[in-house]
Structure formats: structure tokens, C-alpha cells
């Protein structure tokens, strides 16, 4: 919108004669206002009349003011000055104000549109991820039903056992690949906070060796192994080797949960449930 507005010179100055003419007209109007104010003050200091005469006078004033009001309603607004230079300067000033207001509105609308587009993209991505998860779960459900039917019809033989072993090996390899990919991702984006990888204990002011911090990858492996090995007791204690910002990151994004009775113990969220 701002590209189509005419270029307006902000510092445009009207000629000296036009300024003086405009000031003279303003002075004249101000003097007329002062005279009207003086007349009103004089009217307010008149001697109070008797009730009947005062009422008659007020009615006359009402009629006069009504007639004056009707005249003002019929009149069209007068231009302060007919000087084209003055009118041009005032017009440029008004156009500049309108241009600034429109540019502000345009900037606000564009910002809101950009924010809405980003929100829409995030919602679409989230919807696609949820759809993929749903499709995967439906596939797992169908595969499970098929396997249950097959196992109910015939006993497990050597061939089925070997196939199951092969699947387990395949899953193990896939698990290792996922863990390696996760480890590379975490090492790249979530490194240790210090070069030495250690932090001093806060509660001990003496010269003691720092506690060796573990990586976020190691923390996740501990949580995963604990959940798999003892699903009935998946909580682990938060040690000094866990960097607090990493623990807060896991808790804030729902990857880990605190123990309801012991805040110093956490567990991995059971995403497979």
C-alpha cells in the first residue's frame, strides 16, 4: 500500500507571505472570540430583574440562540485561508499523517499475517506427525491381530522361532541405529556446558575435585534402561553428575516426570503405553 502513496515532502515550508497571512487571520478570529467572551461576561453581571421579566428575557435569549443555531446549521464551513500556498502546505501535512497511519496499519496487518502463517505451518506439521503415528499404530494393531491368529492355529515351530530371532536382531540393529542417530544429534545440539565436563559442588567450599557431568545422551540412556529393566519401578535419583538445565529441559517438554512424592527422582515418560 505504501508503494502507491504519493511521495510527500515532510519538511515542506510555505512561503513567508502565506504564513503571515494565516497568522493575521488567526489573530483576527482570536480577537472576535475575545470580544464575544467580554460580551458574555458583561451579560453575566447584569442586575437581576423580577421573576416575570427575567423569565421573559431568558425566553427571548433562547429564541435568539435557536435562530443563531439554525443559521449555523445552514452555513457551510469557511476555509481559514484562500491562499493556495497555505492550502497546499496544510494538504501535504494531512496527507503525510494519513500516509503514516496507513503504513502503521499495513505493518501491523503484515505482522499478524506472518504470525498466522507460522502458526498454520506448525499446526499442519503437528497434524501430519499425528497422522503418521496413527497410521503406524494401526499397522502395528493389524500385525498383532494377524500374529495372534497365526499363533492360535499352530504351535510355535523352529522356523517361526528363527523368524522371530531374525526380527529381534533386525529390531536390535534398528535400535542401535536410532541410538547412534540420537547420540549424534544430542552431541551436536546439547553438548556439555564446560570444556572440562565438570562442575564444583555448591555445598562444599573446600578444594575438592569437581563432579564429572554426564551428557544428555547418557541421561536418556539411563532413563530408557531403567524403564525397560524395571517398568514397575522406573524412577532414578537425580545425581550431581546430571546438569540441572538438562533435567529442567526434560521435565518442561514432558520427556521426563518427577516422582509425585520425591522431587529428586525422575522417570522417563511411558510413550509406548
Asked if the structure places residue 72 within a domain, the reply is yes
Q: Domain for residue 93, yes or no?
A: yes
The residue length of the chain stands at 273
Q: How far apart are CA 29 and CA 172, in angstroms?
A: 94
Burial class of residue 219, CB neighbours in 10 A (0-12, 13-18, 19+): buried
Alpha-carbon span 199 to 209, nearest angstrom:
9
Among 63, 82, 112, the domain boundary falls at 112
Percent over 70 (pLDDT), the chain: 75
Cβ atoms 126, 120 nearer than 8 A:
no
Residue 97 domain-assigned (yes or no): yes
1: in domain? no
State how many domains the chain has: 2
* Containing structural domain, residue 248: 190-268
The stretches of the chain forming alpha helices (DSSP H) are 16-44, 51-74, 84-153, 158-189, 216-229, 244-252
Residue 47 lies in a domain: no
Over residues 181-240, the pLDDT tens digits come to 877 887 777 787 765 444 444 444 344 456 788 888 888 889 988 888 888 899 999 999
Q: Which of 112, 133, 159 is the last residue of a domain?
A: 112
Q: Which of residues 239 and 19 earns the better pLDDT score? A: 239
Helix 216-229 and helix 158-189: axis angle, to 10°?
Answer: 150
Q: For 237-265, what is each residue's pLDDT tens digit?
A: 999 999 999 999 889 988 899 999 999 99
Instruction: Say yes or no to pLDDT of 57 above 90.
Output: no
Assigned domain for 75 exists = yes
The verdict on residue 234 lying in a domain is yes
Local confidence band at 8 (pLDDT 50, 70, 90 cut-offs)? very low
Amino acid at each position: 500500500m505504501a508503494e502507491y502513496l504519493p511521495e510527500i515532502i515532510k519538511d515542506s515550508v510555505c512561503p513567508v507571505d502565506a504564513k503571515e497571512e494565516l497568522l493575521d487571520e488567526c489573530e483576527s478570529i482570536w480577537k472576535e472570540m475575545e470580544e464575544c467572551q467580554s460580551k458574555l461576561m458583561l451579560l453575566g453581571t447584569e442586575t437581576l430583574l423580577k421573576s416575570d421579566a427575567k423569565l421573559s428575557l431568558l425566553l427571548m435569549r433562547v429564541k435568539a440562540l435557536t435562530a443563531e443555531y439554525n443559521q449555523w446549521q445552514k452555513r457551510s464551513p469557511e476555509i481559514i485561508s484562500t491562499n493556495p500556498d497555505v492550502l497546499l502546505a496544510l494538504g501535504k501535512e494531512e496527507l503525510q499523517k494519513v500516509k503514516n497511519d496507513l503504513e502503521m496499519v499495513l505493518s501491523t496487518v503484515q505482522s499478524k499475517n506472518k504470525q498466522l502463517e507460522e502458526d498454520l505451518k506448525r499446526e499442519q506439521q503437528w497434524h501430519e506427525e499425528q497422522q503418521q503415528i496413527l497410521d503406524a499404530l494401526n499397522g502395528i494393531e493389524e500385525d498383532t491381530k494377524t500374529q495372534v491368529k497365526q499363533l492360535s492355529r499352530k504351535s510355535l515351530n523352529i522356523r517361526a522361532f528363527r523368524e522371530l530371532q531374525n526380527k529381534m536382531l533386525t529390531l536390535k540393529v534398528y535400535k542401535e541405529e536410532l541410538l547412534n542417530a540420537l547420540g549424534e544429534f544430542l552431541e551436536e545440539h546439547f553438548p556439555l556446558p564446560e570444556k572440562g565436563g565438570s562442575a564444583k559442588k555448591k555445598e562444599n567450599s573446600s578444594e575438592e575435585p569437581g563432579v564429572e557431568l554426564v551428557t544428555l545422551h547418557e541421561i536418556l540412556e539411563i532413563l530408557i534402561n531403567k524403564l525397560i529393566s524395571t517398568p514397575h519401578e522406573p524412577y532414578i535419583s537425580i545425581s550431581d553428575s546430571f546438569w540441572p538445565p538438562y533435567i529442567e529441559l526434560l521435565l518442561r517438554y514432558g520427556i521426563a516426570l518427577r516422582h509425585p512424592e520425591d522431587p529428586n527422582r525422575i522417570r522417563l515418560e511411558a510413550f509406548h503405553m
